[in-house]
Amino acid sequence: MTSLPAYKADFLRAALSGGVLKFGSFELKSKRISPYFFNAGDFYRADLLEAIATAYAEAIAEAHRAGALGDFDVVFGPAYKGIPLATAATIRLGQLDAAAYGSTCYSFDRKEAKDHGEGGSIVGAPLRGKRVLIVDDVITAGTAKREAIAKIEKEGGIVAGIVVALDRMEKLPSPDGDDSKPMPSAIGELRKQYNLPIIAILTLDDIIEGMKGLASEEDIRRTEEYRAKYKASD
């Protein structure tokens, strides 16, 4: 795993040891049978939550320093999986660089607006006039991210970018069901539609490179074959 940056290697190791990244046969929403499955909802143990918080913070800070990601005021977690991810990432960013991120806020949405108490559909920092960074686990079809963008803009926020744990680098299903046709990825389509930076802690390429020596040759071979068959054109 020496070819991966330390934070990527540490995150991948935690995902493998914690059973967050699994190998086998998994049916996706697209009906494809994937040889691997990543579930960020399984980062529920303290040490695993610390690992994913650190990975998000390092990926965000690295992209920010490099200019791949602009300034942001609020880290936003779409309900439900995005809520603990955004919260943990915000805490770790402040610890990582208090001068740069100590005043960064977090926010998340409710699935249903509250009509009593403080009311509204947003919990945490107000979004109006703020640059908002969306943090979530993966992008499958992009529907949930489009909904999050619409909510943020409705609240007067400005979407600064999206950060996910994993980019599967996988093409969208062809409308006619022919998976042999070149197709873009959901991430590529979101980038094109919204002109937003989208950062991933790990890509499928990272997983294949990093799992050497940690996973069986059979799992590596099946994952490489899946990548070759379904890799996005972008």
Could you tell me the residue ranges of all domains in the chain?
6-230
Structure tokens at 185: 């990825």
- Pairing between β-strand 105-114 and β-strand 120-124 as defined by DSSP bridges: antiparallel
Pick the catalytic residue from 31, 116, 192, 229.
116
Active site includes 116? yes
Determine which one of 114, 154, 192, 229 is catalytic: 114
- Told to judge if 64 belongs to the known catalytic residues of this protein, a careful annotator would answer no
Q: From first to last of its 234 residues, what are the pLDDT tens digits of the chain?
A: 448 999 999 999 999 999 999 999 999 988 899 999 999 889 999 999 999 999 999 999 999 999 999 999 999 999 999 999 999 999 999 999 999 999 999 999 987 765 554 557 899 999 999 999 999 999 888 888 999 999 999 999 999 999 999 999 999 998 888 888 999 999 999 999 999 999 999 999 999 999 988 889 999 999 999 999 999 998
- Give the CATH number of domain 6-230: 3.40.50.2020
pTM above threshold 0.85: yes
Cα-based distances in Å from 190 to 49, 101, 120, 122, 185: 27, 26, 27, 23, 9
